[in-house]
Amino acid sequence: MAQTLADITDALLRSYERDGGINHFDGTNLPSEESVNRLCSDFMRLLFPGFFDQDPLRKDAVPAATAERISEVHRRLVTELEKCLRFSRHVDPSGAAGTLAMELLGELPDIRRAVHTDVVAAYEGDPAARSIEEIILSYPCVLVISLQRIAHALYRREVPLLPRMMTEYAHERTGADIHPGAHIGSHFFIDHCTGVVIGETARIGNHVKIYQGVTLGAKSFVTDDQGRPVKGVKRHPQLEDHVIVYPGATILGGDTVIGRNSVVGSNVWLMESMPPNTIAYYQGDQASIIRPRKSREAGGEVAPDWVI
């Protein structure tokens, strides 16, 4: 016999009782996805004035436009922060939300300075780029790194929910998934973005460049006596300054360090550290080979290859 809408409704209500772990009834009001997405869009307008507005922004109108946007962002940010803090049962969600909002907005000039270095890195790191304007308007790395830097400021302040919602907005738009906990230095460039995954405890130095499909992940999870993952453990690798990671490479482990000025080749799988000034790659069917990078001055290597 064909089901009616009433039958389907009853079945769904029964599933709410049976599978209650994914319900949220009689709890705190959760952050609004629509509002958070709008906040992300407005943060981009604050970081890059004049780039994402429908109408041209005259320089003499910038002070008034910025004051208006800051006021609106502050109002909505406080609302969403308060919801997050009530969810975590904060003792003073209303008061703390106002303080956190002011701290984050006060950090925007410093975040903007860091984002500027990312734009420069993209322009200087991609010979196909024709202008800074092209980078800001069309390169997905600008959105995902900019929002991660803002989300990271909230993550450092132990705000629940909102940082992950912000980076997920960027993930949906760009295909790059960067956890808000990841620590990222200056002049960071992700070329093409698609399929990049960077875990919570990853640390990335200055002047690092990675390509599409790169994973900075965990080897395994430390578990407690009940077999549940222990939170807050260093699980993801560190890339020191001036590292390049080519497409499809996978680097795993909290104690894995890729030394400065090193290169990880395409599709390489690494669970061990690399010394500074080395290169890892595949050669035929062999495992990843790590050897010193060629000296541009000497035109050769100073030590033999070794295999991991």
Give the DSSP letter string of 254-293. Answer: TT-EE-TT-EE-TT-EE-S-B-TTEEEE--TTS--EEEEP
Helices (H), 139-228: 140-156, 162-174
Instruction: Give CATH 1.10.3130.10 domain extents, the chain.
Output: 27-175
Name the nearest CA neighbour of 79 among 103, 104, 98, 106: 98
Task: Output the pTM of the full model.
Answer: 0.89
Length of the chain equals 308
> Could you report the per-residue pLDDT of 42-81, keeping only the tens digit for each?
999 999 999 998 888 898 899 999 999 999 999 999 999 9
> Could you report the per-residue pLDDT of 287-308, keeping only the tens digit for each?
678 889 876 544 444 444 444 4
Of 1.10.600.10, 3.90.1150.10, 1.10.760.10, 1.10.3130.10, the CATH number of 27-175 is 1.10.3130.10
Helix, strand, coil share of the chain (percent; to 5): 45, 15, 45
**CATH 2.160.10.10 corresponds to the domain 195-308:** yes
> Could you report the per-residue pLDDT of 233-245, keeping only the tens digit for each?
899 999 999 999 9
Q: Yes or no: say if 135 and 120 are a contact pair by the CB < 8 Å rule.
A: no
Q: Specify burial of residue 30 (Cβ count, 10 A radius: 0-12, 13-18, 19+).
A: middle
Count the helices and strands in the chain (H runs, E runs): 7, 16
**229 pLDDT tier (thresholds 50, 70, 90):** confident
Instruction: Give CATH 2.160.10.10 domain extents, the chain.
Output: 195-308
Q: What percent of the chain is predicted at pLDDT more than 70?
A: 94
Which pLDDT score is estimated for 304?
Answer: 44
Mean pLDDT for the stretch of residues 158-181: 98
